[in-house]
Structure 1
Amino acid sequence: MTDRLFELADRVAYHLGTLKILAERGVIRPMRPDRALAFARTLARWGPSPGAASIALAARFPDEPQIIDEIGTLTFSEVNRRTNALADALKARGLGPGSQVAIMCRNHRGFMETVFAASKLGADSLFLNTMFAGPQLADVIKRESPDAVVYDEEFAELVRPAARRRKRFVAWHDSLKAPDPTLEELIAEGDQRNPDPPGRTPKVTILTSGTTGTPKGARRPTPDSIDPAVSFLSKIPLKARQRTHIASPLFHSWGLAHFQIGLLIGSTYVLRRRFDPEDCLATVAQHRCYSLAAVPVMLKRILELPVEVRRRYDVSCLKVVAVSGSALPGDLAIRWMDEFGDNLYNLYGSTEVAWATIATPEELRAAPGTAGTPPRGTVVKLFDEEGRPVPPGRTGRIFVGNPMLFEGYTDGNSKQVIDGLMATGDVGRFDSAGRLFVEGRDDEMIVSGGENVFPQEVEDCLARHPAVREAACIGVDDEEWGQRLVAFVALEAGAQVQADELKKWVRENLARYKVPREIYVLDELPRNATGKILKRVLRERYERELQPRSIAAASQVS
């Protein structure tokens, strides 16, 4: 009996905590009775989905802006009517519950409207990376087999041959005559009335980053409660009915996260098709954005602007800068906060686990380089290779439990699970304060002369050198040491530095066995659309062009 009472008390406390967070973020607030009734009725009939959110938000905030892009502004009611019409037109072309619609679009209304329309049909969405090359795109479409592809005209030469046997529709186009029917044409012919619920909860498939190989499709569940959003909001203080500039690609899990959170808190989405550092500041200043969703390399590019350019724009409105998608170097975090204030939040997660930890400005100041601590409702543990728990201060494999773990890859495989916790594929350690530090991919660790070396630590060290703009390291086979570390650096504009100086720098800051045997200077490091460095591309180039022919040559640098 006592245990049941404690369990009941815990549940009550948990729900009270949820209400407190939602009230603090402005989600719970007074509403006209008729709008409150329409809002509740929609959610009850439809369940949680983007389509349901579109209808409910249109009832709650009909005349307020929902999407601001390079074309103009759309209100919540306009978006709802347009996506009702789009869903109706797609239905007339044979799409419906269980269909899959692939989306290869940049950040603009067409992307979001396609997701809303597909959801209203009960159709699933597949997000395609806008940086795909032709063969990569063809492989993904063949494997995932979507029924239709919605794409921007600029990708026509890639999409049309890869999807020649599938329905195709153009979202954004600049020419007078698009190569396939356009979304605007479909919207013009469809019925704008709210459809009936499809009787099926749609799913979203996003693709892994492909930094180490071919991108894999990862099925993401549709949240069956608001708990995932509340976990997010418990550490990142987004507010209801504020404007958020989503600079991170919408096809990436980080862009998707802000899209989904915005449906709970009624965000106004400010979108630009391409990221430009000065334009990003100008957009935030012009639209008085409360938050910015970005990846770390975007912050780096902004800080590389001349100081007079950075100070040209009043971005004091920016209260939350939320980054994810790749490692956030501690130096970059401090530089950003020193310039723009303590508004930086860093989420560590992956396509498979969604989120693991979030670092607040206070944590980033106290422990630069930290990935933070788990938010509400999230468990993070470290295990060794045998599945045994790892104590604080020791490196282990990172495992996560939360309500949004993915449902598996579309090829039927999944990630390792221990005690209900899923592997992220990374290794890290907790400090004495419970803050997580991610040390790199578990498959990137190299063993050189019997010593374990994680590339990220060396990369961060090299990047702190005044002449180095960015760095990446890989492990390669070595006849004498088993493996050796190879580094690639891109220098600051006008900077010059010798390899021996960089080696000396690493030697002075890290253990001697962590000094790269080779260092190569490149004009820039290859990255994907979310800013992750493509180490497979560096490895291919090394094996093709740079690999020394002897151990003696391995100490040479070009």
Structure 2
Amino acid sequence: MAVNSASVAQTVVQLMSQVERRPAQDLAVEDAAGQRRYTIAQLSDASNRLANAFIGLGLRPGDRVAYAAQNHVEYVVLEFALLKAGLVKVPLNHRFAPHELARCIELAEVRLVLADDASAPALDEVLVDGEVLKTIIGSRDGWLSFADLVTGGSGARVQVATGPDDLYHIRFSSGSTGRPKGIPISHRGARAAMLGNTWVMSSSGPVAAPRTLQVAPLVYAGGWSVLPTLVCGGTNVIMERFDADEMLRVIAERGITWMFAVPTMLRRLSTSPELPRLRGSALSCLMLAGEPAALPALEVVSEHTDAMVQCWGQTEAPASTTLLSKPEMRSRELWSSIGRPVPGVEFSVYKDGVVLERPEPGEDGELVIRTSSVAPTLLGGEAEHRERLLDDGWWRTSDLGHIDDAGRIYIVGRASETIITGGTNIQPVEIERAFESHDGVREAVVVGVPDQRWGETPAAYVHVSALTANTAQELDGWVKDRLAGFKRPGHVYLSADPIPRASGEAKIARGDIKKLVRGWVEDPACLPKNVTKVVRTRG
């Protein structure tokens, strides 16, 4: 079906077309060492060839192509090739277990998978019937070579007709359930999300040609800044995986001006001996997003750079939908805010079954968002989508919060994580922030566990800088001074090791942590040797 020019202007294809009109010699992407790079002209040619190769393999518009790999420059070539061939990108976490990969591939009806050495073994366990094509960055028996596809494809310009309601990608998130669900985003929605990120980039770190360090996983939030960087006239600098020391060296030595990081990365940066390199660097915007940042880490890093801003988004409504600006970040009391909505995004409060027209400042409820980037459905979560999508396009975020008198948004917890103890509701984030305000705490996660007397009681899993004989007593006194007795955890687990994550540097998988901690409560014998339990009587 033909797509008119007005419709094309509402797609991600239009943003790609804008990028390809940049000067041919401009640098589009390079690896962190500067050894592998593509100019605009080279990127255009390579993506034409890959798009034609995909068509030659029998892929048709709307077919799904998965990327299950670490960060590589090939990701950017793939991005453009999929847009040209009218294919749907399916970013997959390469750390997923084989059964998780199998579920994602089945739900998304994937036709071809692009992998690297790290993810190929798990995929070989899953893709045994030959129905899904396998492409490798490098070489592997039984796999098509990505490089061979590019060199063997025709260089002729190709552009399949694409409309705003066609799918751009299907991203997978397990959220708090631990079971992956597919989140499809249309071209209209993806374009709006990318323009939101472009606005954040251009307003927070205005430079003539940004050099964006892509170190957060491109299969998650990192991928949303690839095209905005190019639209702003900049270059993507790709790091294969996160390492705090190496990242700080790259920032200083490769002229990085903009980057995205999740709070876990911030915590690692705050303890790196290379942190002073930020002071003399060209970094103009360090965008933080994800779970609330640990205050001690934020304080430490803020002593070395004033480039930090805070943003917020959901996988179901990407990407940067709010911004707490650099001037606002100078006020420590605002650090708990995710900022104000970016252009084209609305927020309100959902309370007692109604979206409030103008919420009173400080009035708590479930935050709702209205933007064209909201997912049209959830694969494997259709009932959840029907429950969360309200009239007039409002989307229930499942986050509890309020808006202040300046329009700034604050998240105080998640509806699904509320702990009900003795008939009283407690939000874990309040307890977590009490722990994390102590200099010796790197991170805290609080979940509800069964309690015979109270029905449920908070349990805290706390990552401390060092575990000494006095740590437990000191933290107990610290929290006692900051929380009411009924909010203080009945179980505290201390560890000098980081809290485990299911997906590398991504958010905490709270569902997994809840199962883990509940297991420790029910059977103390299964407590790992690196974890120390502290039990107190609730006040």
TM-score w.r.t. length of structure 1: 0.84
CA distance in 2, matches of 1:495, 1:193: 66
Deviations 1:473-507 (A, max 9, x none): 00112221121000011110465544343232112
CA distance in 2, matches of 1:212, 1:496: 36
The residue aligned with 1:404 is 373
Report deviation, 1:202. Answer: 4.6
The residue aligned with 1:217 is 182
Using the aligned pairs only, state the percent identity.
24
CA distance in 2, matches of 1:43, 1:437: 40
Decide whether the 8 Å contact of 2:69 with 2:118 is kept in 1. no
Decide whether the 8 Å contact of 2:317 with 2:374 is kept in 1. yes
Decide whether the 8 Å contact of 1:216 with 1:409 is kept in 2. yes
CA distance in 2, matches of 1:224, 1:507: 46
- Say yes or no: does 1:510 pair with 2:483: yes
Decide whether the 8 Å contact of 1:364 with 1:370 is kept in 2. no
Higher mean alpha-carbon deviation, 322-331 vs 296-305, is at 322-331
**Would the alpha carbon gap of residues 235 and 242 (structure 1) be closer, same or farther in structure 2, given more than 3 Å must change?**
closer
Higher mean alpha-carbon deviation, 295-304 vs 410-419, is at 410-419
The residue aligned with 1:32 is none
**Would the alpha carbon gap of residues 59 and 384 (structure 1) be closer, same or farther in structure 2, given more than 3 Å must change?**
closer
Report deviation, 1:338. Answer: 2.2
Decide whether the 8 Å contact of 2:196 with 2:321 is kept in 1. no
- Say yes or no: does 1:249 pair with 2:223: no
Aligned with 1:208 (options 162, 173, 177): 173
The residue aligned with 2:531 is none
CA distance in 2, matches of 1:226, 1:202: 11
Give the 3-state SS of the residue equivalent to 2:105 in structure 1. helix
- Say yes or no: does 1:141 pair with 2:82: no
Give the 3-state SS of the residue equivalent to 1:311 in structure 2. helix
The residue aligned with 1:80 is 44
Give the 3-state SS of the residue equivalent to 1:298 in structure 2. helix
The residue aligned with 1:6 is none
**Would the alpha carbon gap of residues 420 and 442 (structure 1) be closer, same or farther in structure 2, given more than 3 Å must change?**
same
**Would the alpha carbon gap of residues 186 and 313 (structure 1) be closer, same or farther in structure 2, given more than 3 Å must change?**
same
Aligned with 1:543 (options 499, 503, 518): 518
Deviations 1:251-305 (A, max 9, x none): 11x2122123224323210011110001111111222011011111112111111
Deviations 1:499-535 (A, max 9, x none): 3432321120122221101101233211233431222
The residue aligned with 1:4 is none
The residue aligned with 1:189 is 152
Report deviation, 1:223. Answer: 3.0
Higher mean alpha-carbon deviation, 479-488 vs 495-504, is at 495-504
TM-score w.r.t. length of structure 2: 0.87
Report deviation, 1:548. Answer: 6.3
Report deviation, 1:400. Answer: 0.6
Corresponding letter in the other structure for 1:320 = C
Q: How does 1:96-495 map to 2 (within 5 A)?
A: 96-164=60-128, 165-173=130-138, 177=140, 179-199=142-162, 201-223=166-188, 228-236=193-201, 237=203, 238-239=205-206, 241-252=209-220, 254-306=221-273, 309-312=274-277, 315-341=280-306, 343-354=307-318, 355-366=320-331, 367-387=334-354, 389=356, 390-411=359-380, 412-413=382-383, 414=385, 415-493=388-466, 495=468
CA distance in 2, matches of 1:157, 1:497: 46
Corresponding letter in the other structure for 2:110 = P
Deviations 1:405-449 (A, max 9, x none): 221212334133254211111101223333211112111011212
The residue aligned with 1:524 is 498
The residue aligned with 2:23 is 61
**Would the alpha carbon gap of residues 439 and 126 (structure 1) be closer, same or farther in structure 2, given more than 3 Å must change?**
same
**Would the alpha carbon gap of residues 504 and 121 (structure 1) be closer, same or farther in structure 2, given more than 3 Å must change?**
same
Report deviation, 1:316. Answer: 2.5
Decide whether the 8 Å contact of 1:292 with 1:322 is kept in 2. yes
More strand by proportion, 1 or 2?
2
CA distance in 2, matches of 1:475, 1:313: 39
RMSD over aligned CA atoms reads: 2.7
Q: Unaligned regions of 5+ residues in structure 2, if any? A: 525-533
Report deviation, 1:178. Answer: 5.1
Decide whether the 8 Å contact of 1:153 with 1:178 is kept in 2. no
The number of equivalent residue pairs is 507
**Would the alpha carbon gap of residues 227 and 149 (structure 1) be closer, same or farther in structure 2, given more than 3 Å must change?**
closer
Deviations 1:83-119 (A, max 9, x none): 1111111111111211110110211122222222122
Report deviation, 1:330. Answer: 4.2
Decide whether the 8 Å contact of 2:400 with 2:414 is kept in 1. yes
CA distance in 1, matches of 2:44, 2:198: 26
Deviations 1:136-175 (A, max 9, x none): 11122122220111111221111122123333333433xx
Q: Unaligned regions of 5+ residues in structure 1, if any? A: 1-41
Higher mean alpha-carbon deviation, 260-269 vs 83-92, is at 260-269
**Would the alpha carbon gap of residues 321 and 178 (structure 1) be closer, same or farther in structure 2, given more than 3 Å must change?**
farther
CA distance in 2, matches of 1:446, 1:302: 32
Give the 3-state SS of the residue equivalent to 1:210 in structure 2. coil
Deviations 1:383-417 (A, max 9, x none): 22433535322321000112312212123341332
CA distance in 2, matches of 1:197, 1:205: 19
**Would the alpha carbon gap of residues 73 and 305 (structure 1) be closer, same or farther in structure 2, given more than 3 Å must change?**
same
Decide whether the 8 Å contact of 1:448 with 1:482 is kept in 2. yes
Give the 3-state SS of the residue equivalent to 1:185 in structure 2. helix
CA distance in 1, matches of 2:159, 2:84: 8
CA distance in 1, matches of 2:487, 2:467: 28
**Would the alpha carbon gap of residues 325 and 229 (structure 1) be closer, same or farther in structure 2, given more than 3 Å must change?**
same
The residue aligned with 2:528 is none
**Would the alpha carbon gap of residues 115 and 139 (structure 1) be closer, same or farther in structure 2, given more than 3 Å must change?**
same
CA distance in 2, matches of 1:202, 1:61: 29
Decide whether the 8 Å contact of 1:84 with 1:191 is kept in 2. yes
Report deviation, 1:542. Answer: 2.6
Decide whether the 8 Å contact of 2:13 with 2:162 is kept in 1. no
Report deviation, 1:556. Answer: 8.0
Decide whether the 8 Å contact of 1:48 with 1:225 is kept in 2. no
**Would the alpha carbon gap of residues 418 and 462 (structure 1) be closer, same or farther in structure 2, given more than 3 Å must change?**
farther
CA distance in 1, matches of 2:43, 2:215: 21
Decide whether the 8 Å contact of 1:284 with 1:315 is kept in 2. no
Deviations 1:368-396 (A, max 9, x none): 21111112222111122433535322321
Corresponding letter in the other structure for 1:536 = G
CA distance in 2, matches of 1:425, 1:223: 24
**Would the alpha carbon gap of residues 380 and 99 (structure 1) be closer, same or farther in structure 2, given more than 3 Å must change?**
same
Give the 3-state SS of the residue equivalent to 2:413 in structure 1. strand
The residue aligned with 1:12 is none
Decide whether the 8 Å contact of 2:50 with 2:149 is kept in 1. yes
